[in-house]
A = this chain, B = another copy of it.
Amino acid sequence: MARGRVTIREVAVRAGVSTATASRALSGNHPVPAATRARVVRAARELDYVANAHARALVGGGRKMAAVVVRQVTSPFYAQVAEGVEAEAADRGWLCVVGATGGDPQREMDFVRLMREEGARLVILVGGVVEDDAYRSRVAQYAQALDASGARLVLCGRPAPDPGIPALVVEFDNEAGARAITGYLLSAGHRRIVFLGGLPGNTALDARVAGYRAALAEHGLPPEAAHVVDCGLGRPAGLRAMTELLKGRREFTAVFAGDDMVAAGALRAIAEAALSVPDDISVVGYNDIPLAEDFNPPLTTVRTPAEELGRAAVRIALRDAASAAGRHHLLGTHIVVRRSVGPPRGAL
């Protein structure tokens, strides 16, 4: 057998027809007599022929391919979003590619460029970012370039640099979610709540902090009641920051972690200090990752339907006309109550 891929020419020869007929028989969108088709199909199967996607794309305008770009696949939240995109894309017969950037803007740019080269028709960028000028111009460029070649860009959980830009944005209402769970802590009696995991400039986190402050204000607390620790996200950050916090005099009765991974770190730090959750300190998280229920104790958190976010991103992108660019879609969230919150120490 010849090394290299079997081409349609070989199939045609074996079936005793021209390549044009072979192509028609295989694609099935042209009338071809059943007998001829059968011969061609059989030849193709015998040779184990698969069409060259590149050649086909070159002439036919390309395969339906979507790309999701996340920081890392091992983050439970991102993985769920990617799975949602994957599932929705698969349902529609699209191929889905996922790329990880490790948070490096350069790798993000490279990946987007790659997707442009490959002819992806849908690019989905996931996750909050620090919204600086570099970000704005980068995204404006993606949007413009993708749009020029007829592809769609959707921003998941990150802002469009400019409403006029040809990109869709779909995200959770971070401020509302944060307000709700802060309210929950407040109604459990807590008044000194620290927010752990701020990341100044990051749009998602800033919104959560804003919701936290808003809830405090609504309950009549002065602005100084807010205590935000800007340690960033991730379990190690949460562990470190909480350990630090526990060294001083405890000025708080509850902690609101920026996401569930930070909460995991905080929980661990508290346990290492031989303190109890929720008896000594109450803790809440954000995202409700699949294993939040298995933390010690099971974590009260804000459920952000991540898979639905991914599905919505492709659904919206494929439904909306290009003219709907700039549309902003907000998805709702809700609190899931477990066992990490109790009344403040001595409140009873």
Stretch binding the partner chain, chosen from A80-88, A208-216, A219-227, A245-253: A80-88
Report the Cα distance A90→B113, complex, angstroms: 14
Distance from A278 Cβ to chain B, minimum over Cβ atoms (Å): 14
Q: Which positions 270-289 of chain A face chain B at CB distance < 8 Å?
A: none
Q: Is A27 an interface residue (CB 8 A)?
A: no
Q: Is A268 an interface residue (CB 8 A)?
A: yes
Asked whether, in the complex, the Cβ of B53 is within 8 Å of the Cβ of A55, the reply is: no
Asked whether, in the complex, the Cβ of A73 is within 8 Å of the Cβ of B82, the reply is: yes
Q: Is A319 an interface residue (CB 8 A)?
A: no
Q: Which positions 288-321 of chain A face chain B at CB distance < 8 Å?
A: 290-291, 293-297
Asked whether, in the complex, the Cβ of A268 is within 8 Å of the Cβ of B293, the reply is: yes
Q: A54-B57, A58-B58 are in contact. Are A148 and B80 (CB under 8 A)?
A: no
Asked whether, in the complex, the Cβ of A295 is within 8 Å of the Cβ of B296, the reply is: yes
The contact size tier of chain A is 35 or more
Report the Cα distance A80→B75, complex, angstroms: 10
- A52's partner among B58, B63, B235 (CB-CB below 8 A) is B58
Asked whether, in the complex, the Cβ of B98 is within 8 Å of the Cβ of A98, the reply is: yes
Asked whether, in the complex, the Cβ of A73 is within 8 Å of the Cβ of B86, the reply is: yes
Q: Which residues of B contact A4 (CB under 8 A)?
A: 149-150
Q: Which residues of B contact A141 (CB under 8 A)?
A: 48
- A50's partner among B1, B53, B117 (CB-CB below 8 A) is B117
Q: Which residues of B contact A48 (CB under 8 A)?
A: 141, 144-145, 148
Q: Which residue of B lies closest to A97 (CB)?
A: B97
Q: Which residue of B lies closest to A67 (CB)?
A: B97
Q: Which positions 10-65 of chain A face chain B at CB distance < 8 Å?
A: 48, 50-58, 62-63
Q: Which positions 63-120 of chain A face chain B at CB distance < 8 Å?
A: 63, 72-74, 76, 79-80, 82-83, 86, 90, 95-100, 107, 113-114, 116-119
Q: Is A193 an interface residue (CB 8 A)?
A: no
Q: Is A5 an interface residue (CB 8 A)?
A: yes
- A74's partner among B50, B63, B79, B149 (CB-CB below 8 A) is B79
Q: Is A267 an interface residue (CB 8 A)?
A: yes
Report the Cα distance A297→B296, complex, angstroms: 7
Q: Which residues of B contact A51 (CB under 8 A)?
A: 117
Q: Which residue of B lies closest to A114 (CB)?
A: B95
Report the Cα distance A90→B98, complex, angstroms: 13
Distance from A240 Cβ to chain B, minimum over Cβ atoms (Å): 15
Report the Cα distance A296→B141, complex, angstroms: 47
Asked whether, in the complex, the Cβ of A53 is within 8 Å of the Cβ of B117, the reply is: yes
Distance from A346 Cβ to chain B, minimum over Cβ atoms (Å): 25
Report the Cα distance A293→B267, complex, angstroms: 11
Q: Which residues of B contact A99 (CB under 8 A)?
A: 86, 96
Distance from A101 Cβ to chain B, minimum over Cβ atoms (Å): 10
Distance from A121 Cβ to chain B, minimum over Cβ atoms (Å): 12
Q: Which residues of B contact A56 (CB under 8 A)?
A: 117
Report the Cα distance A58→B53, complex, angstroms: 9
Report the Cα distance A51→B90, complex, angstroms: 27
Q: Which residues of B contact A148 (CB under 8 A)?
A: 1, 3, 5-6, 48
Report the Cα distance A54→B8, complex, angstroms: 17
Distance from A83 Cβ to chain B, minimum over Cβ atoms (Å): 5
Report the Cα distance A55→B59, complex, angstroms: 10
List the 3 shortest-distance A-B pairs measured between CB atoms, nearest first: A296-B296, A53-B117, A54-B54
